[in-house]
Amino acid sequence: MTDNVTLDIATGTAIWTDPTLDLATRVDALVAAMTLPEKVAQLYGVWVGAAADGGEVAPYQHEMEEPVDLADLLDAGLGQLTRPFGTAPVDPALGALSLLRTQQRIAAANRFGIPAMAHEECLAGFAAWGATAYPVPLSWGATFDPELIGRMAAAIGADLRRVGVHQGLAPVLDVVRDARWGRVEETIGEDPYLVGTIATAYVRGLESAGVVATLKHFAGYSASRGGRNLAPVPMGPRERADVILPPFEMAVREGGARSVMHAYTDTDGIPSAADEDLLTGLLRDAWGFPGTVVADYFGIAFLRTLHGVAGSWAEAAGAALAAGVDVELPTVKTFGEPLREALAAGAVPEALIDRAVRRVLTQKAQLGLLDADWSPVPAALAGADLSDPDALRGTVDLDPPANRALAREVAERAVVLLANDGTLPLHRPARIALVGPQAESPTAVLGCYSFPAHVGSRHPEVPVGIALPTLAAALRAEFADSVVVTEAGVCVDGDDTGGVAAAVAAARGADVVVAALGDRAGLFGRGTSGEGCDAESLALPGAQQHLLDALLDTGTPVVVTLLAGRPYALGRAVTDAAAIVQSFFPGEEGTPAIAGVLSGRVAPQGRLPVSVPRGPGAQPTTYLSARLGHASDVSNVDPTPAYGFGHGLGYTTFDWSGLVVDEPVAATDGELRLHFTVRNTGSRWGSEVVQVYAHDPVASVVQPVQRLVGYLRVPLEAGAACRIDLALPADLFSFTGRDGRRVVEPGALELRLAASSTDHRLVAAVALRGPARHVDHTRRLHPRFAVTPSAG
């Protein structure tokens, strides 16, 4: 019960409900007033689905858990509501009403009137029926444009917030280590600096809308052995420190993320969910992270069932709490009765509960959920007649024109032109043969965590909820004067080649072939890309390579167009295709974006966030390999990519010249300064991406041959030029030394100013002098660019 310690003497109101007081005072007062069961109740959620008629949510029945009875839980409170919109197709307005009514019930049932935090997936937009399906994160990386991704995230956050959602389970900061991994589509790329800068922009955008961003998966999930989902992670501490952790570090320090989700995997035998050094020692004590750590779904229970480091549910709960996990998701399991029994027996210290509940309640206070005037009515329903659910139906639009315009902008920026012999842009061909399994598939543009793929596939009787123009429809709209004929040829993942003959006939009768190839997103083996859809090799799925080779044999120019979740080896198309256009599940506006690139209406601007392999079997490999990871005379396997990280062509050309290094030697605590000129030497507008790579020829530990330390997108009109001034702090060249500490070492360096990791335009030989210098998470993370229009 509340007492005089937790009441404002002047007003008689509970201290924790007063938003004018500091957060710590409010939270301390509330924690002091709560019983132990009430504290524990704030540390778990329930997986629910909104009611289609606007009634209260219903617990989701799934194979991982036994059913939950809300009535048995609510007297003590409830910390989280899991995926009220993302569990089943529900009209957004009625979903918001369902969530509102449930929040009223939750707040009314507990002594303190505390509502739950509602969280949703937002990896490719708000994962709700009728919400905008944006390009997947791998396409975000292909934009090399943090500002654009920040605007997209702000739009996603605004949609989440206005229907009552408080927390988004994004972004994914896993750095690609093996492209066979099924969740590559959810990642931003294979370089930690690119991942960190794009993800940090996404975090800022989401948080700017008042939505808690959740960094995942912390840490090392993408480095699983063999690219298999949830397989053990064999990496050492240096790979973890220099490749896996920097994006998280950047997003915590610069992005203001308020939540982190632990990874499922174990690294060198230690599961992330039970790794106190990671979740507390590094994340909180070293980096100063103040927010909540939430479990990946069922991840705490996996300590018992998959990892075998806990003998009971109570032991799993205690291990996770001790490590620093605050919230069990998606539903109550180990943090329920097993944890309460362990607390009663003294097996789990109550101090761990107090530590976690303070973090959860602080976040709720930040969101206004503890305020005396808190209302469960979200902005989308403000002023509406809540007594008439039928009248609400269709009143909340989660895919308005502004969203679609933004989705198209991201999609257009992300399309990567890999190769072009001059065939593109197409000049009014009389007949186009659009051939391949992606030609007539409306869902070819969607990733695994888009609502239609993730949830809608289980409800085929329900309309998709958003417009998804097929590539055939987009080409017919783009090339109105052309005849566009379509043939599937093969399925995405089948081995039936019976349709190839018709496809070849269509190709022979056309002026140009557009080969529409790629992936089908799905879950746990139901697709060729997505969670649990790992690949044995990077050959195109099914019989698609057979179809592609047959098309190349026709002699008709073939433009290979990929709508995929990962990079694939393309065989002889690398040398024989007229052009290759790569897109990574580009979202609902993806096919118009691709069609625009083919016609020339859209200038290609994307750059590869992952390398495209030359052969299907040379995995795992990324451009960040050390010398022994590159081609050599001592192995017959050549991992050299067909197209390297950062590669992308346009419809114009750029000249880089006039490199001047102000001073080629800097102190280990100083910075290097240089400048150069970039000129658009073509006949149309274009956008160059200046990439800066560091090569360290001699270091105390083995280094990658090169690594990205900065980039800048530079748009220029035809004939225009600009001077680029670049300052690189010595901190950018730091790495984890032999003693496990990050160090800036003196010695020679090479700065490669490049259009890609395989296309170095200017090279500067520089050096650092002075004593070796140790740095920490407060080090400088970015170079400084200044761009000035130039005539020279």
CB 195 within 8 A of CB 188: yes
CA–CA gap between residue 563 and residue 471 (Å, rounded): 10
Buried b (16+ CB within 10 A) or exposed e, 441-473: bbbbbbbbbbbbbbbbbeeeeeebbbebbbbbb
Token pair 């509102």 in the structure block, residue: 100
Segment 346-351 mean pLDDT = 97
pLDDT of residue 67: 73
Q: How far apart are CA 32 and CA 27, in angstroms?
A: 8
pLDDT of residue 791: 76
Distance, in Å, from the CA atom of 355 to the CA atom of 350, rounded to the nearest integer, reads 9
Q: What is the distance between the alpha carbons of residues 779 and 735, in angstroms, rounded to a whole number?
A: 12
d(CA 36, CA 350): 8
Mean pLDDT of 509-525: 97
Backbone angles phi, psi at 458, to 5 degrees: -85, -5
Distances (CA, A) of 717 to 219, 597, 683: 42, 18, 9
Average pLDDT, integer, range 557-583:
98
Would you state the pLDDT for residue 620? 85
State yes or no: pLDDT of 354 exceeds 50. yes
Residue 69: its pLDDT value, please? 82
Mean pLDDT for the chain overall? 96
Distance CA 392, CA 206 (A): 27
Q: Based on the number of CB atoms within 10 Å of its own CB, is 491 exposed (0-12), middle (13-18) or buried (19 or more)?
A: middle
Residue 697 φ/ψ, nearest 5 degrees: -70, -30
**Distance from C-alpha of 453 to C-alpha of 449, rounded to nearest angstrom:** 7
pLDDT at 98 over 80: yes
CA angle 661, 663, 665 (to 5 degrees): 115
Residue that has been written with the tokens 């002047």 in this structure: 10
- Per-residue pLDDT band for 6 (boundaries 50, 70, 90) equals low
Using alpha carbons, list the distances in angstroms from residue 312 to 68, 300, 315, 316, 716.
20, 11, 5, 6, 62
pLDDT (tens digit per residue) in 634-675: 889 899 999 999 999 999 999 999 999 999 999 999 999 999
For residue 445, the SS3 value is helix
* Residue 3: per-residue pLDDT: 44
**DSSP, res 123:** B
Structure confidence at residue 5 as a pLDDT band (50, 70, 90): very low
pLDDT value at 116 more than 50: yes
Concatenating the DSSP letter of every residue in 536-557 gives: SSSBPSTTHHHHHHHHHHT-S-
pLDDT at 594 over 80: yes
pLDDT at 9 over 60: no
Rounded CA-CA distance 91/396 in Å is 8
Residue percentage of the chain with pLDDT more than 70: 98
| Weakest mean pLDDT among 66-70, 175-179, 522-526, 776-780 | 66-70
The CA distances from residue 727 to 145, 201, 670, 762, in Å, are 20, 22, 10, 16
Residues 6+ apart with CB under 8 A from 97: 54, 381, 386, 389, 392
Q: What pLDDT, on a 0 to 100 scale, did the predictor assign at position 7?
A: 60
Helix axes 471-478 and 590-599, enclosed angle (nearest 10): 40
Q: Of 593, 514, 596, which is closest to residue 557 (Cα–Cα)?
A: 514
Q: Does the pLDDT value for residue 12 go beyond 80?
A: no
Average pLDDT rounded to a whole number, residues 412-418: 98
Give me the pLDDT at residue 2, please: 40
Q: Are strands 416-420 and 579-584 parallel, antiparallel or unpaired?
A: antiparallel
CB atoms within 10 A of CB 7: 15
Residues paired with 521 in a beta bridge? 529
Q: Is the peptide bond before 171 cis (omega within 30 degrees of 0)?
A: yes
Any idea what DSSP says for residue 461?
Answer: T
Mean pLDDT of 3-32: 81
Q: What is the pLDDT of residue 58?
A: 82
The CA distance from 489 to 269, in Å, is 46
Distance in angstroms (rounded) separating the CA atoms of residues 466 and 521: 17
pLDDT in tens, 314-330: 999 999 999 999 999 99
* Dist CA 543 CA 490 (whole Å): 6
Q: How confident is the model at residue 1 (pLDDT cuts 50, 70, 90)?
A: very low
Helix (H, G, I), strand (E, B) or coil at 382: coil
Among the residues of 245-336, which ranges form H helices? 246-250, 276, 302-305, 313-323
Tens digits of residue pLDDT in 210-260: 999 999 999 999 999 999 999 999 899 999 999 999 999 999 999 999 999
Q: Is 174 helix (H, G, I), strand (E, B) or coil?
A: coil
Average pLDDT over residues 557-571: 98
Residues shown for the chain: 792
User: What is the average per-residue pLDDT within 299-306?
Assistant: 97
Other CB atoms within 10 A of residue 518 CB: 28
User: Using an 8 Å Cβ cutoff, are 364 and 117 in contact?
Assistant: yes
Cβ–Cβ < 8 Å for 580, 552: no
Q: Supply the pLDDT for residue 104.
A: 97
